[in-house]
Structure 1
Amino acid sequence: MSDELENFARQRRLINELVQTNMDSFLNYGFLSLQWWLLLAFLILPWVLWLKIARKHRLLETVLVGTIVIILTTLHDWVGYNFNFWDYPVEIVPLLPGALPFDLSVVPVAYMLLYQFCLTWKSYLIGLGCMTFIYAFIGEPFANWMELVVYFKWSSIYSVIYYIFTGVVVRASVDKLAAVSIPAQRVKG
């Protein structure tokens, strides 16, 4: 067996041990804990809220905003997790590192609501600033306090940059796509 194959086999054994340790931790510590139930609520409740108040006339663009934010937030989360910027003591689903309730629900639904209800750039930027402040300086410290996330090499100011950058890029991109794809049919407001 070559050295490369031996290294690969050793890596696979270590990964299997880590997977087993993660499963044991999930079953003995995380599953059905207060934190797990809170994560479940964070996964479901934003979508219930969105379904109740979503407006149909901007549905396509709003869902596109949510989809792009889900992709960006999940990628951001994986990179931060793998670079050891943060970790998740409790996960909603074992073997999927990351905060799925935040990546798939809490964050994208907030951007979708902003896009849907803040029709001008001025109102959108004000709403984005408020959302950013709440998420970076209230939500993330709360999640840390509740032991949903542990930050190692991360600061709230990095979150501010991420939320603002994501909000501006996504809004500009979706507005541009909507303008060039159906300009004559687009319903304003």
Structure 2
Amino acid sequence: MANKTSIYNNYFEKQNDLNHEKLHIWFDYTVFSWRWWLGILIMVCLTVIWLKFRKKESTDRLLYTGLFIAILASFLDMIGVFLGLWEYRYEVFPLTHNYFPWDLFLVPISIMIILQIKPNMNPFIKGIIYAGFSSFIGLPLLTWLDIYKPIKWEYIYSFPILVIIYLAAHYVSLRNQFEKV
């Protein structure tokens, strides 16, 4: 039992040291860099766009859907980073390994906006369009900007996952529990 405890203590000590090193690297090379400012700009601009163009009467339903998407995208992203499938550089916030502008702003807000556009259009087609744009334009752009680095991952792998995320968001957005009592 004591051996397991010392193994865990050693692990957490190493993890703590790495977190401190990451924080120093973030302060020295990331914060206030142009890529950091780009992340801040993405978050601010997307929030303003969503506030301006959302259907006001659907705000609660859309926020609920956006929260669902943000949690799902963040969870999947954490798994990918943990497994070494990809990594992010120039994180806006150094406390996680996720890229906040992507997981908490770009993916949820873009889906919330797409849900409002042509609401009667086939959701599978909308999901394919969304996933295609995100997988084959968005992710390569993040790679080109040196923010996202796929390691054991191809853009095509993201495509079906993003279709499923969109379809799940579509399903959540249609729940009738949003009706007023």
| TM value normalised by structure 2 | 0.92
3-state SS in 1 of match to 2:113: helix
- Distance in structure 2 (CA, Å) of the matches to 1:51 and 1:126: 26
Aligned to 1:75: 75
The code of the aligned residue for 2:154 comes to S
Aligned to 2:128: 129
- Is the CA contact 2:46–2:105 (under 8 Å) kept in the aligned structure 1? yes
The code of the aligned residue for 2:48 comes to V
Aligned to 1:167: 166
Aligned to 1:6: 6
Aligned to 2:58: 58
Identity across the alignment (%): 23
The code of the aligned residue for 2:58 comes to R
- Is the CA contact 2:43–2:105 (under 8 Å) kept in the aligned structure 1? yes
CA deviation after TM superposition for structure 1 residue 114, in Å: 1.2
RMSD over equivalenced CA pairs, Å: 1.7
- Distance in structure 2 (CA, Å) of the matches to 1:88 and 1:14: 21
Once the two structures are overlaid, the 10-residue window that deviates more, 165-174 or 14-23, is: 165-174
Aligned residues: 180
CA deviation after TM superposition for structure 1 residue 32, in Å: 0.9
The code of the aligned residue for 2:165 comes to T
CA deviation after TM superposition for structure 1 residue 181, in Å: 5.5
Q: Which has the larger radius of gyration?
A: 1
Aligned to 1:149: 148
3-state SS in 2 of match to 1:150: strand
1:1-60 per-residue CA deviation (whole Å, 9 max, x = no partner) reads 911221122112201210121012101111111111111112221111011111112222
- Distance in structure 2 (CA, Å) of the matches to 1:163 and 1:91: 22
Tell me, yes or no, if structure 1 residue 49 matches structure 2 residue 45: no
| TM value normalised by structure 1 | 0.88
Tell me, yes or no, if structure 1 residue 36 matches structure 2 residue 36: yes
1:93-142 per-residue CA deviation (whole Å, 9 max, x = no partner) reads 112111111111001001101112231142x4443333222211111011
The code of the aligned residue for 1:60 comes to D
Runs of at least 5 residues in structure 1 that lack an aligned partner in the other structure: none
- Is the CA contact 1:58–1:116 (under 8 Å) kept in the aligned structure 2? no
